[in-house]
Amino acid sequence: MTTPTLQKSISLRAWAELLLLALIWGGSFLSIRVALNEIGPLTVVAHRVVWAALLLWAYVFWRGLRLPRDPEIWVGFLGMGLLNNVIPFSLMAWGQQHIETGLTAILNAGTAIFGVVAAAIFLADERLTPRRALGTAFGFAGVATAVGLDQLRTLDLRSLGQIAVIGGTVSYALAGVWARKRLANLPPPVAAAGMLTAASMIMLPAAWIVEGPLVLPRQPATWAAISYYAVVATAFAYLLYYRVLAMAGSGNLMLVTLLIAPVAILLGALVLKEALPPHAFMGFALLATGLLILNRRAPAPTAPPAGPALPRPAPGGPSSLP
């Protein structure tokens, strides 16, 4: 499940599927916000991981893929479920109750920035080169500008919501490192299904304890939102992610992070009548600059080095999945 750092030339078909993935993940922020109108954030996440896990296992069995039996792999699934699903999904869903969906998507773009730092700290073959350091600096400046550091002095619910979303992006970044160390060489559908199964085993009791017995939503809009973010934006998006990864390479796939935020901002403005402050757009511009610096095509070496953790998303699975 590692990928080479070399970028591939991106075909028209790959571009089309990359844009489709960005549209899907961009819409996930809106669907989660709609579901939060009726159910709590932990229940939102429980629905997301349970239904997605069931669908992915159905796909695994249909493909006839071999199930892992090594206990160490299932420990890897547990860690990945925590870092890539339970913690970031829960923090971001809670945060979305208090900040705009577009701002959530902008802050989510910082996943790739934190991922570079985490890889440099924990992976010996991912040192922080001058180019990566420059891109990371722009990225951190973008996150700080989007949040508006002066607004954190009050630590009101809006500020805490932004901190929660940033915490989710840090968890995504650590998930990329965990995947490199514990879940390499597994078929992507099996890894994703195992990870979501572990997340489901945690989220079902957590949602029950914190928010009460799980009840079925009553509003059709809530069911539509759950269907979208669980079926389309999680189960299907995981499979599409790996398809685009194989066609375009990890470097080009990082571009999806830049495309998700504008989709979420537009949907938030059109459907929820959201209006972001100017500093949020300035922050996104700095973040985008940092990501483009990180994604700049480098001269091809004679022998490809070992690959980095998967980018984003997500985002052992997309580590920047919204």
pLDDT category, 9, cuts 50, 70, 90?
A: low
> Residue range 58-81: average pLDDT?
93
Nearest-5° angle of CA 274, CA 278, CA 281? 85
Roughly what angle, to the nearest 10 degrees, separates helices 41-63 and 87-96? 140
Confidence at residue 140, expressed as pLDDT on a 0 to 100 scale:
92
Confidence at residue 302, expressed as pLDDT on a 0 to 100 scale:
36
Confidence at residue 310, expressed as pLDDT on a 0 to 100 scale:
34
> Residue range 278-299: average pLDDT?
84
Four-point Cα dihedral 292, 168, 177, 50, nearest 10: -120
pLDDT category, 305, cuts 50, 70, 90?
A: very low
pLDDT category, 312, cuts 50, 70, 90?
A: very low
- Domain ranges for the chain, please list them: 12-295
pLDDT category, 182, cuts 50, 70, 90?
A: confident
- Cα–Cα distance for residue pair 264/227, rounded to 1 Å: 18
The residue that leads in pLDDT, 128 or 205, is 205
Residue type, 125: D
pLDDT category, 317, cuts 50, 70, 90?
A: very low
For CA atoms 266, 267, 270, 276, the dihedral sign is negative
Q: Which residue in 216, 215, 161, 217 sits closest to 38, CA to CA?
A: 217
195: region left, alpha or beta (phi > 0 left; psi from -120 to 50 alpha): alpha
Tens digits of per-residue pLDDT, 75-95?
A: 999 999 999 999 999 999 999
Confidence at residue 55, expressed as pLDDT on a 0 to 100 scale:
97
> Residue range 33-53: average pLDDT?
96
